[in-house]
Structure 1
Amino acid sequence: MKNKSTLSIITCLLLCISAQKGFSQLKGDRLLGGIGLDAGSQAPAETFSLLVPLYFYDASSLKNANGNKIAEPNFNMFITGVGGSYVSSLKILGANYGASVLLPFAQNRIQGNNVDSKSSFAYSDTYLQPFQLGWKTKVADVVFSYGMYIPTGKYEFGGSSNAGLGMFTNEFQTGTTLRLDPKGSISFSSLFSYEIHNDKKGTDIKPGDILSIEGGLGKTWYTFNGSKIPSSIIKAGAVYYMQFKTSNDELPAPAIITPYANSIYLPGKDHVYSAGLEGNILLTKSRMLFGLRWFDEFSAVNRFQGNTFFVTIAHVFSTASKKKAE
C-alpha cells in the first residue's frame, strides 16, 4: 500500500513537471456584462460620453470539465473607474470614427481559478480603444473596433494582492444591431470580441485566446412632456453573454509549483453562458444616462460560475457646433 501511494505521488509530480499547456484556466481582460442591448451600435455622431461603470461579480461555484461543482469559493470581484467615449463626424469607409478609454480600479481581480485570492482596492489595467468605426442604416447598425489592455495595474507573479493581470492584450471586435420592426423600436444585437494575450510580466505564462459574444433583445419607449422632443428614452429587454477559451494557456512547468499553490488546475478549455435582464433610461434634458444589467451564469466548464451586476452612470455631451445644432 505504501509503495502504491509513493508511486501515485511520483506520477502526479511527473505530470506536473512535464505539463506545458492546458492545465490552468487563466482569465482574460474583458469584463463580461459590460455591454448589452446596444452591443452592436455606436453612440450618435458628435457626442462625448463621460461614464462611471460599477461592476460586481459574485462567484458562487467552481465547475470542472464535466460541469460539476468542485468548490464553493464565495468570491466577489468589484471594478469601477472613469471612462470616456467619443464619436466624431469624420467618415472612414462611410463609417463614423470613434475612440474610448477606461481608467479602472479593482478589488479582488480574478487571475485564475484561485479560490483564496483576495486583493485590496487599487488601480487596475487601462483599456484604450483608439479605433472604432460605426455604420448606421435603416435596418441595422454595424461596428468594428480595435482595443488594447495596458498592464498598468500592480502585478507580481504569484502575488496575493494583484490589481491587474500583468499582460498586454489586443482585442478585436465586430458586431451588429438589427432593427426588427419598421419604427426600429425592437432590436437584437450581438458583439463578437476576440482577445489575444501576451506573456505575463516576467514570466513565460501566456493565457489562451478568448472569444466573447454579448448582446440582447430589447424594446425602446419614448416619453413626451408637451414637446415633440422626447423627455426620456427608455430601453429594456433580455441580455446574454457567452465566453470560450479558443486556445490552451501556456504555463511552463515551474509555474505550476508554489506561486499558484491555491489555484485549481483544470485540463482543457473553459467556457460559460449567461442570460439576464437590462433596463436603462436617458433623460434628454439633462443628458444623463442610467443603466442596470443583471446576468445569471450557467453551464460553466473549467471556471467560476456566478452572477454579474453592471451599473452605468453617464453624461452625454454634444460636440456639434452651435450653428449645426441650430
Structure 2
Amino acid sequence: MRLTLNRLFLSLLTLSAPLPLLAANGHYVPGIEASGGAFMPPVQGLYYRAYLVHYDIRQVADARGDDMPGNNTGSVTAFANRLLYVTDRTFLGANYGVEAIVPVQRTSLRFRGLGVDSSESGVGDVYLGPVVLGWHGAQWDTVFAAGFWLDTAEHDPRDPATIGRGHPATMLTLGGAWHFDPERRWSVSALSRYEIKGEQDDTGITPGDSWLVEWALSHRLDSGLEVGLAGYDAWQLEADTGAGNNNKAERHAAGLELGYRWPDTGLQLKGAVYHEYSVKAGSGGVQPSGNLFRLALTTAF
C-alpha cells in the first residue's frame, strides 16, 4: 500500500500554461515540471493539479544571446488548472487517460530600452489531450502523450504582452524515470515535448517546430521531504516560415526543487526556482530572460 501511494503522488504527467514570452517558440513553458513530470498515476481516478507560475524578467536577449540595451524588465504570472482522468482501460500494456488544462495569466512588460510598456490579462490557450499512456515497472516509469493546443486566447501580433500564441499546435510528449533503489528514494528523470505549429491567421507566419527537455535528479528523505536538482533546455528546430529571417530561439536553465506529499490526505506540493543562464531570440528579434518560480499542488479524487 505504501509503495502504491508513493507512486500515486509522485506520478503526474503535467502540462503548463501557455506563456508566450517564455517558450522557445512554443506553447509549453519549460520549468513547469521537474521530478514529477515523467510519471502518470497508475490508479484509476480523477486528478487535479493547480499551478502558480511567476516569471521575473531581468533582461531581454537578441538572437546572439546578448542583452539588449536599456532597462528591460517585466513579469508573467499564471494560474493553470489541469484535470487528468485515468481510466480503467489499458493500451499496449499502459494505463490510458485523458486530460485538459485551462490557464489564466497576466503579463506586464516594461521594456524601456525597446519602447514597450504593456500589460494584458486573460484566459490563455486551452490544451486538450485525448491520449495519455503510462507504463510502470518496479524501478522505472515512462509516459507518452499526444494532444492539441487550441487557438482560444485573444492574440494581438502588435502587442508583445498578448495572452495567446495566435495559432494551434500539436504536442507530443515522451518521458521516463529510473529509480536507483526499490524504495524509489533516488530518481533521475527526463521529459521531452515536441510541438508542431499551425499558421498564425493574423500574420501568415508559421512558427517552426520546437523541442524541449526537462530533467531532474531527486532524493526523498526519511521525513518525506523531496529535494532535487532540476533544469530545462529548449530549442526551436526550424525557422519560422514567412518571418523574413532564420533565427531560432533557445532557452537553458538550472535550479532547485523541493516537494512534500501527504498520502493520507491525497495532497502533494512541489516548488521550484530556475535561473536562466542562456537565452537566444528567434525570428521575433528579442527574447526575455530571467528567473522562473513555480508551485504545483496536486490532489486525487
**TM above 0.5:** yes
Name the SS of the counterpart of 1:190 in structure 2.
Answer: strand
Quick one: distance in 1 between partners of 2:219 and 2:28? 26
Provide the residue aligned with 1:236 in structure 2.
227
Q: Which has the higher strand share?
A: 2
Distance 1:304 1:160, change over 3 A: closer
Identity %: 23
**Counterpart check, 1:270 vs 2:249:** yes
Report the TM-score when normalising by structure 2.
0.82
Distance 1:35 1:157, change over 3 A: same
- Of 305, 311, 314 in structure 1, the residue corresponding to residue 295 of structure 2 is 311
Quick one: distance in 1 between partners of 2:133 and 2:115? 40
Provide the residue aligned with 1:215 in structure 2.
215
Provide the residue aligned with 2:87 in structure 1.
88
Provide the residue aligned with 1:38 in structure 2.
36
Q: Is the 8 A contact 2:192 2:213 kept in 1?
A: yes
Quick one: distance in 2 between partners of 1:202 and 1:81? 26
Query: What is the CA deviation profile of residues 46-86 of structure 1, one whole-angstrom value per residue up to 9, with x for unaligned ones?
Result: 13222221111112122234332124421211111322112
Distance 1:115 1:201, change over 3 A: farther
Listed as ranges, the gaps of 5+ residues in structure 1 are: 1-24, 224-232, 254-265, 318-326
Listed as ranges, the gaps of 5+ residues in structure 2 are: 1-22, 282-286
Provide the residue aligned with 2:236 in structure 1.
245
Quick one: distance in 2 between partners of 1:269 and 1:62? 15
**Counterpart check, 1:300 vs 2:279:** yes
Distance 1:311 1:204, change over 3 A: same
Provide the residue aligned with 2:261 in structure 1.
282
Q: Is the 8 A contact 2:58 2:74 kept in 1?
A: yes
Provide the residue aligned with 1:170 in structure 2.
170
Quick one: distance in 2 between partners of 1:32 and 1:188? 17
Distance 1:100 1:115, change over 3 A: farther
Q: Is the 8 A contact 2:105 2:163 kept in 1?
A: yes
Quick one: distance in 2 between partners of 1:142 and 1:50? 20
Quick one: distance in 2 between partners of 1:305 and 1:221? 33
Question: Partner letter of residue 39 of structure 2?
Answer: S
Quick one: distance in 1 between partners of 2:108 and 2:199? 18
Quick one: distance in 2 between partners of 1:198 and 1:309? 29
Report the TM-score when normalising by structure 1.
0.76
Quick one: distance in 2 between partners of 1:108 and 1:184? 39
Aligned length: 269
Distance 1:187 1:116, change over 3 A: same
Quick one: distance in 2 between partners of 1:193 and 1:209? 11
Equivalent residues in 2 for 1:139-218, closer than 5 Å: 139-159=139-159, 162-218=162-218
- Stretches (4+) displaced over 3 A: none
Q: Is the 8 A contact 1:240 1:295 kept in 2?
A: yes
Deviation at 1:121, TM superposition (A): 1.8
Name the SS of the counterpart of 2:49 in structure 1.
Answer: strand
Distance 1:27 1:176, change over 3 A: same
Quick one: distance in 2 between partners of 1:109 and 1:192? 29
Q: Is the 8 A contact 2:239 2:246 kept in 1?
A: no
Deviation at 1:149, TM superposition (A): 0.8
Q: Is the 8 A contact 2:42 2:95 kept in 1?
A: no
Provide the residue aligned with 2:25 in structure 1.
27
Distance 1:26 1:200, change over 3 A: farther
Deviation at 1:214, TM superposition (A): 0.4
Q: Is the 8 A contact 1:38 1:215 kept in 2?
A: no
